[in-house]
Structure 1
Amino acid sequence: MDYEDRIFRDAENDTVDVTNLTDIAEKYIVEDSILAVFGLIGIAANILLIYIICYYRKLHTTTNTYIIHWAIADTGSAIITLTCLRVFYNILDISLEILCFYIGIGFALILNDMLFMIMLTIDWCLSSYFPRLLDKFRKYTRIIIAVLWVIAALYSVASSLICTSYAELYLIFHVTLPLTYAILIVLVVALHCYRVVQKLRKKVEYHLVSMLLIPTAYMLCGLLSWANLLFLDIPYMLSETPVFLHPTLNIVLLIMLNEDFKTCFFQVMKCKLPTCNFFKFKSSPQNIEENANNSNNAERGLSFDNKMFDQPNRHI
């Protein structure tokens, strides 16, 4: 986020002091190359995450559906960032109008990143504390996802047009996006505080927190980037790298906290997959009865983090 912001400000103020391609390479190539490496790692992690969840039927849950769409939006925003590298921008001499439209798409995808994380947080809250409302909420999952993508498209077009006509109103991004991020912070922190209080009172944890840890990790990884955008002034390498590493952290969290995902992940790592059936959903080769039960749970929209409400557990 703060990297694209600096690109736009350089273009708007025309403050880039380079006279030829050699100067551009010497000034930006090292930092941008390192950023590109981390960005490609994040994109690869997102693609792997999407593949695993789509391929195995036992992972077809409502919460994982939000994760898939988050990964799609995150991959798109990462691609926008990498193609906005200052080396490319200065070599191609991109106009301010084109940059407004292009970065507007990236910011719309970042908005969707946060919205899907908010929905994931709400889903966890309902599954943990309001199970009666959960089924009603999950009936509208497809509609919610479609609405979020429509919002992102409208946001991209509207903000790009405003930015093109009135460049000083580029600050619209500085209001809407931080506000959405602040909503995510409030939700995540409030749920963690409530969960800790409940645990201290009851001496036991009744709800798994695996799905809450993913938006928590997203919030923490983006904290430095947003702070750098609003009031800090640190090298963008330090603020953007955690954002690109979050997809990898997601995979690590799912491996640690979910046995189904862990099993499917290692099946992929062992290359025990057909080479030509990318979109054909299959269960991992385990016990037939277990697969049938997991498939039924998935069809009812039950996420793996709220399968057992009757028995307490001690996961934090």
Structure 2
Amino acid sequence: MSFSNNFNNDPNTYANIFSFMGFPLGRELDDSVDAVILGVPYDLATSGRSGTRYGPNGIRQASAQLRWEEKRWPWTFKLGDKLRCLDYGDVCFTDGDSEDLVSELSETADKIISANKTLLSLGGDHFLTLPLLRSVSKRYGPLALIHFDAHTDTEASDAKYNHGSMFYHAPKEGLIDCEHSIQVGIRTEYDYEQHPFQVLNASWVNEQDLGTVLKEIKQRVGNQPVYLSFDIDCLDPAFAPGTGTPVSGGLSADRALQIVRGLQDLNIVAADVMEVAPAYDHAEITSLAAATLTLELLHVIAAKR
């Protein structure tokens, strides 16, 4: 099985689009695999519009539009020459059973991470980041979190399944180090006096030059192992209408890609792209943005090698 030429040799944008970027679809975690794409089609913890269970498939389908370019602009290398990627498919769980979802996701993530693979998960609602953080922190200890979102997701809720309280619970469970964590693109209410994370709000990020934004992120994170979580509603609805809780005034797709691209010297050990709900989008705009961000993240991880 050839990884370096798998999708580069098949630029078709409408045939055989079963996996992300045409990566091999399988579950063998041997030495020929460096990074793993995992879909999690779950949206039972959402508080807004449902539909993110279709996000992983929407992102995969949209990724076909990115397969024709041998070297993704502006990178100067072929992804497969540095990073051999596998699409693991989706986590399977009993319909409507959130407890089973957490169990199956945790077991799958543990398996992938213990095999020393970089895990990039596609959602699904943002609650999924909490069980993923539990798995990743088992290997790396408390993580620095880089969180792109319109919302801080720090609601002080004891609800077991809530896509707005993951980053309230994660510090309490010792999964992330708040002193080295940062949230980007926020533009909704939070506790300004007691908030544990540094916040770069959307207006500030949009007004600053790229170097200033990246300096803030890198100074906060330092040399810590990083978990990067990207809620697609960090983007303005003009660039990502297909999501459950859209908020005007967000980042452009280009701005977000520039920031992500600038993180290549950080130690990103796992990542996710969440909250894509294709049904609220008339032209795959959101799915394409998410697929592009996912591909950019893979290049960022590859560039570090």
Larger % of helix: which?
A: 1
Greater relative contact order (Cα < 8 A, sep 6+) = 1
Q: TM-score range by the shorter chain?
A: under 0.3
Larger % of strand: which?
A: 2
